[in-house]
């Protein structure tokens, strides 16, 4: 599976999950709790950074 197809699959799955009522309730609970919100922000940033590191390893630095 190409990287583009994989990215499209991940994004479409994330959109479908975000519309689920249980996911929406969980997000609302995190938004209302300051400590959980900070943890979620920190975790999201770490995951995004690690995804970028993996992408650079897979694609190389000179790819666009």
Q: Are residues 58 and 45 in the same domain?
A: yes
Q: Are residues 18 and 41 in the same domain?
A: no
Q: Are residues 2 and 25 in the same domain?
A: yes
Contact present, 64 and 3 (Cβ < 8 Å)? no
Question: Using CA atoms, how far apart are residues 60 and 63, in angstroms rounded to an integer?
Answer: 6
What's the half-sphere exposure (Cβ side, CA atoms, 13 Å) at 64?
Answer: 0
Q: How many domains does the chain have?
A: 2
Q: Are residues 14 and 3 in the same domain?
A: yes
Taking the complete model, does pTM exceed 0.85, yes or no? no
Quote the tokens at residue 45.
């940033």
Question: Using CA atoms, how far apart are residues 9 and 23, in angstroms rounded to an integer?
Answer: 19
| Residues, the chain | 64
Q: Look at residue 49 in the predicted model and tell me its pLDDT.
A: 94
Q: Look at residue 7 in the predicted model and tell me its pLDDT.
A: 84
Domain range for 50: 33-64
Q: What is the pLDDT along the chain (64 residues), one digit of tens a residue?
A: 677 888 888 889 889 988 999 989 988 888 899 999 899 899 999 999 999 899 888 887 775 5
């Amino acid at each position: 599976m190409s990287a583009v197809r994989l990215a499209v699959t991940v994004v479409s799955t994330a959109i479908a999950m975000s519309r689920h009522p249980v996911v929406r309730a969980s997000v609302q609970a995190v938004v209302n709790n300051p400590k959980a919100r900070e943890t979620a922000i920190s975790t999201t940033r770490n995951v995004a950074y690690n995804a970028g590191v993996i992408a650079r390893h897979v694609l190389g630095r000179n790819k666009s």
